[in-house]
Amino acid sequence: MIPIPITEDGLNTLSAEIAQHTLELRHYFVENLRTARRFLKALHPGIVIDDLNFSEIDKHSGADTKTFRTWLKEGHSIGVLSEAGCPGIADPGAELAAIAQDMGATVVPLTGPNSIILALMASGLNGQSFCFNGYLPVKDPQRSQKIKALELQSKKENQTQLFIETPYRNNVILEDLLKNCAASTRICIALNISAPNAYIKTKTVADWRKNKPALEKMPAVFLLLA
């Protein structure tokens, strides 16, 4: 399980073991073929990409699990690459890790950037009890109901609630949070984490309402603690 940078030019955020393993691997399952090729070429400029075997995980039908099982049975070591961050976390690579576990293969998670954990680290919110909720519903009333339910759960358990959104909806989800949450609830916006222009701010809903930012279309994690 091979993390890749969250942002462009983020090779410095990777551990040395990633460079070592990617020199040895010849078989990959990847979330995005173009991203994977570009990443490997940036990490190893002299690598011959055409010598590698790739299987792209389809956004709708998922991974080619038959090929994955075949490669494992043939004794190949397989790299799993997310489009950004850690595979298996909010990512289709989890299915492949489960198959490998069922087949008795060794699953090795390499260390690298994870936007969820990095956002939690910088937020100042509760890192002892937290829950990642993936994407919230796109439309109302389901979206507002979910936000209110997460706020209630957060208050009841003193638990930080984390979720993500498609970058072009960043401003929409912020508007929905400010509309549906209590004034005292704390919201953290973690935008473009690990990049030079990263933006990570935590304020109460009341304070965000006074000075609401216009969020750029960049990868973001939102955190809530009532």
pLDDT in tens, 156-169: 999 999 999 999 99
* Beta-bridge mates of residue 191: 199, 220
Is the confidence at residue 59, as pLDDT, over 90? no
Is the confidence at residue 68, as pLDDT, over 90? yes
Residue with tokens 């091979």: 2
Mean pLDDT of the chain: 95
pLDDT of residue 157: 97
Q: What percent of the chain has pLDDT over 90?
A: 92
CA angle 193, 196, 198 (to 5 degrees): 35
Domains of the chain: 11-102 (3.40.1010.10), 115-225 (3.30.950.10)
Please state the rounded mean pLDDT for residues 4-25: 92
pLDDT of residue 24: 94
pLDDT of residue 2: 96
pLDDT of residue 78: 98
Q: What percent of the chain has pLDDT over 70?
A: 100
Following DSSP, what letter does each residue of 84-143 receive, concatenated? SB-TTSSSTHHHHHHHHHHTT----PPP---HHHHHHHHH-S-SSSEEEEEEPPSSTTHH
pLDDT confidence of 191, banded at 50, 70, 90?
very high
Please state the rounded mean pLDDT for residues 22-46: 95
